Amino acid sequence: WMLYQAQATAESEGLPGIWLGVVASLLVAFITALSLGELARRYSSTNLRSAYHFVEQIFRDPSRQGNSLFLRRGIKFIVGWASHLYYWVYPGLLIAFIGIITDYLLRQLGYSPKPLGQVILAVSFAAFIGFLALRGITGSTSSSIILNTIQLASLVAFSIFAILFRVINPQALSKEAWAYPSVLTALFSFNLKGIIFQAALGMLLMVGFESVTSLGAQAKNPRRDIPIATIITLVVQGISAYFLVYFASGLAFNSQIIPAASHAPLGDLALQVGDALLGGNGFSLMFVVAFAVFISLIGALLTATNNGVRISFSMGMDAEMPDLLGIVNPKYSTPYATVVTLSVVSAIIGSLGMLGGLPVLLGLILASNMGAFLLYAILCILTIVAFYQKSEFRLIRHVVFPVIGLVLNLFLFMAAPVIALSVGGILSQAAWVAIGTSGLWLILSGLYYFIRR
């Protein structure tokens, strides 16, 4: 729902390959998840720190006690910078997404929020999620299962209606009126640069699978269950949701909707499909899908906030970040200073994403994904280091797959902004936003790191 406008804009700028890009990003995520699963299996006590925890555990190994303190802190700095670029930009990006979908629904009801109203929306949602995170509310397993079931069911229903809309063609659209003339073109319209850039965008759909490692302390058998869970997460969201939805929506899009010009192309498509197939009830179909997306965004935002707070709290406890971030609320046992700080940052990023239009929003997507790519590349390196010269070492699992994951993630990290700059226009503006955001994060992190030392 939220990413399609950015993907369609890239396609209109000469970078086609949305569906194949999603497939490519899923494959990269799968390969990365294999390395992450191995780390989670070896260090099954992971319950708070995720990637930062892995670094700490690897250097606690007696066989690596000879490593210099400078090397250890340097690696921690890189992991911390990449983690914050990902985990602190991503919640703000989700705030922008929630604000945009709310703005879209309000406009469907006849109310058009002004810029101040959009800022109020972003700040309100950031404060609400911060309040939940402060109280330690992450949702019960039963609630999560129910909400995920609703989301998947609505996506499948929407996909069925979209495919029927193309097959029945109730509006008697000509072949030239469809965005893709055939099934094959809907799946395989691409060029190489298009697939690479679309894969870099599509990673936004996959990120978050690594957060399952934070459940190690709650799992009955974390050495077995956590690695399997990381893979199942990608199977469910990738194959069961994205492959089907992107295929169905690609078939149904037509000349009456311009995805690159709409804040919610799938919302507009749901309106058109519902009106044509459900006796004028397009708004009802759109609202059901929007409600499922809204729930998904709230859940993803709460998880992203918890992950961002977790990494900052851990670094604060290790004196790698200001000590204030390591202070725990005595009533709720949550790092309230970190929660408040992240909520403020998310409100600012969310407001910029709403007010700045597609160039800023697309730039924030690229910046967040660049942080994710770099963090995933580091995880692949850590997998090799963690199992080197250990009895459980296996060449395929602990060298081949991590090296492939390392190369793919670093390639997408560098290729995405380069391709965007080469295209020009909106994509070039977005690339500069991403580079600027990443550079600012690096400069501030570096200054603090060296001043602290």
State the pLDDT at residue 402: 95
State the pLDDT at residue 141: 55
State the pLDDT at residue 213: 64
**Which residues pair with residue 178 across a beta bridge?**
254
State the pLDDT at residue 305: 85
Instruction: For the chain, give the mean pLDDT.
Output: 85
State the pLDDT at residue 43: 78
State the pLDDT at residue 391: 81
Mean pLDDT of 373-381: 90
Q: pLDDT tens digits for 200-225?
A: 999 998 877 777 766 655 667 767 77
State the pLDDT at residue 149: 81
* CA–CA dist 54, 411 (Å, integer): 23
Span of 10-19, 238-247, 397-406 with lowest mean pLDDT = 238-247
Q: Which residue has the higher pLDDT, 295 or 63?
A: 295
Q: pLDDT tens digits for 122-139?
A: 999 999 988 888 776 544
Alpha helices in 318-424 (DSSP H): 336-355, 357-387, 395, 401-423
* CA–CA dist 224, 131 (Å, integer): 34
Q: Quickly state the pLDDT bin for 406 (edges 50, 70, 90).
A: very high
Mean pLDDT of 345-360: 94
- Take residue 379 and report the two structure tokens written for it: 């995880």
Distance of CA 247 to the CA centre of its chain: 20
Q: Considering the chain, what percentage of its residues have pLDDT values greater than 90?
A: 46
Residue closest to 263 by CA, chosen among 29, 119, 444, 97: 97
State the pLDDT at residue 297: 87
Q: Which residue has the higher pLDDT, 180 or 322?
A: 180
State the pLDDT at residue 367: 94
The whole-model pTM stands at 0.89
SS3 at position 68 = coil
Q: pLDDT tens digits for 391-401?
A: 888 898 899 99
Q: pLDDT tens digits for 52-84?
A: 777 777 777 766 655 556 677 777 778 877 888
Mean pLDDT of 265-282: 94
* CA–CA dist 90, 371 (Å, integer): 9
